Chain A
């Protein structure tokens, strides 16, 4: 990275000072975002390695590559790493950290030192969890269901739980920082109705981080205590209730999927409007839909427990409430589509990823409606249908949005352009690879193939082979960006301040921005996404 910035003349956050200490002790939100980028990329590859092992095992019906115990550990560690150490921090901690102060016209987040602390907590949590994995792993599933996790499993549950507990505080502090920053640090004229939708959706996600994460923290702490000191809150032998664990766990972990998807929706809102050259359709509705998703998201958790033995009346209410989440989600999808209608659309890489997001998120969302209905849920519970649904939302939705955002703001973050041709190829590979991997799993699940088994009947082999083949395409699609982003640091064309001719305060400062973000505090006098009143300049890079 040091060599890349030598040719950039203007002082910026990357060349302001050098040396490992200037990075590890930085309080600059942009540098902390880069620290997060490096660490969550490492976590992504670790989680991806576990996923590839799972897919390789499932290439043949017999359980021949790994033992069933190892397989249990593989899917558990894949889930823990990807959910808690990649998806939850991904867009907020990297793009949110970098962009929110820029977008609201502030010099930094409200609490810069707390922001650095949150990265250290993330690292401490990550290293703790990884240590538990290296020492022998965990086999409870990422959900830690009791009493298996508290009494029977003889793997490193405490290490993994404590790792997630620590990383949870990193998430809480990030969310807290975002909320306070958006409330208190906005530049003059940056009213709530002019706030970029990326900030709105991160604000909504931050509300969930702040209100939900403490509950998972105390729950996992109780699991760890129960293993370590044999206190009996969830132990049925003492009259404890395993269902209480599931309630507390999903009270966080269901809203947590909205922590993962909401920031991604914010990315898509920014990109769709920019590459359609039109003001986003129904700005207020898209903004408030984020808040509605965050609020409704707290009221639907027990739809994960329809077959766990909750009362049928509770199940009915939770089913109904779960349907309601589809409304604000659909508002967003319709408004993105309406934004594109009659827009002058340009097919740059971020927009290709955004197309992928809208399509795949719609499939993931609609199958979520299937799962919210009691009758179908009983049929497909714990099958590959659920796995496919979840991955359509999380990988097809969230990872797509993360990649879209990384490409869109990479010129701003690094000061370099990425190679457009390779990037389009990778977007295509990710889309094709993803669908080949996960669409067969819908069919597998509907035919009754249960998840979390390392062997399966021979008649399921064709679909499983298809899925494994798709996952290798997907892997190539993810390796490519890693290579050309690194390549672009040295050889990429220097990025102009506003390569996409986009509106938004982050594009009004240089690329990469100076340490203090803006030479003078900006004063906002225009509406958000005012593309109609902007001169229609041609984009200089790619087309």
Chain B
């Protein structure tokens, strides 16, 4: 078992690296650097959010009250669970338990698809309520007693909502694809305790996408419960 592990590991060593350790360190470093670019990518949107939330706070509060907090909270829980199964999956790869790894990663994929499904339900709700920016955009609080005080600026809130959660959902879809790729490679027996850095790197990506949502949820859903700020 041990010798075949090392054979697989040597097969996985690319020609331009001196040894497996250099290869693993390099690929992990590369992944962290990529995640840094992702932070800057989302950073532009978070910056726009900050500016407009400061300018149109009332509109942001009114927009956020149209969010379905329970679906959002469920999705947060789903993602946190998916990160747990992902982390356990990486550990299983490290401990030479390929079947356990595949099982855990399949559960991670299910959680990921669950998140996307719930998100789709939310998107549908907003769509039928005309809460999508553009010519058909229409905003009302749904409570005739308390009409919106700043309805005209809620469109910016919803522009950011769709852009930020849409980009996040796109990252989720890519993440599901990546985990599926790891599962398929795992079925072929590609990973051993000497060579599992693709599993680790996809795990890092998954945790990053999870973390983005951890920020998006309070920023978009939980601005203020009180009416009109």
Interface residues, chain A, CB within 8 Å of chain B? 106-112, 114, 172, 176, 179-180, 183-185, 210-215, 217-219, 222, 225, 229-233, 238-241, 244, 248, 516, 521
Contacts and interface: CB of A to CB of B under 8 A. Distances in A.
B155 A248 contact: no
28 contacts: A106-B16, A107-B15, A107-B16, A111-B30, A112-B14, A176-B37, A180-B26, A180-B33, A210-B36, A211-B40, A213-B37, A215-B41, A218-B41, A218-B42, A222-B44, A229-B133, A230-B133, A230-B134, A232-B155, A238-B152, A238-B155, A239-B153, A239-B156, A241-B52, A244-B51, A248-B47, A248-B48, A516-B15
Contact of A176 (B33, B41, B155): B33
A166 to B, nearest CB: 14
A180 B201 CA distance: 15
Contacts of A225: 163
Interface string B185-213: 00000000000000000000000000000
B30 A110 contact: yes
B7 interface: no
B181 interface: no
Nearest to B34: A176
B177 interface: no
A240 B155 CA distance: 10
Nearest to A222: B163
A91 to B, nearest CB: 21
B29 A215 contact: no
What are the nearest 10 A-B pairs in CB distance? A214-B41, A218-B44, A107-B16, A230-B134, A231-B159, A214-B40, A108-B16, A231-B133, A184-B26, A239-B153
B123 interface: no
B43 A215 contact: yes
B43 A231 contact: no
B160 interface: yes
Given A244-B48, A516-B15, A521-B18, 19 more contacts: A106-B16, A109-B16, A112-B14, A112-B16, A172-B37, A176-B37, A184-B25, A184-B29, A185-B26, A213-B37, A214-B43, A215-B44, A229-B134, A230-B133, A230-B134, A231-B133, A233-B52, A233-B156, A239-B156
A393 B55 CA distance: 38
Contacts of B41: 214-215, 217-218
A475 B56 CA distance: 53
B48 to A, nearest CB: 6
Contact of A239 (B29, B40, B152): B152
A177 to B, nearest CB: 8
A181 B95 CA distance: 30
Contact of A215 (B40, B135, B156, B160): B40
B45 interface: yes
A184 B22 contact: yes
Nearest to B166: A225
B38 interface: yes
A212 B68 CA distance: 35
Interface string B42-70: 11110110011001100100000000000
A210 to B, nearest CB: 5
Nearest to A212: B40
Contacts of A213: 37, 40
Nearest to A114: B30
Contacts of A244: 48, 51
A25 to B, nearest CB: 16
Contacts of B55: 239, 241
A232 B133 CA distance: 7
A45 B29 CA distance: 38
A212 B37 CA distance: 8
A318 B26 CA distance: 38
B134 A231 contact: yes
A44 to B, nearest CB: 27
A201 to B, nearest CB: 19
Contact of B36 (A211, A222, A232): A211
B26 A210 contact: no
Contacts of B14: 112
Contacts of A112: 14, 16
B162 interface: yes
Contacts of B155: 232, 238
A361 to B, nearest CB: 29
A232 B159 contact: yes
A217 B163 CA distance: 13
Contacts of B33: 176, 179-180, 210
A210 B40 CA distance: 9
A238 B135 contact: no
Contacts of B38: 214
A219 B47 CA distance: 11
Given A110-B30, A230-B135, A239-B56, A248 B44 contact: yes
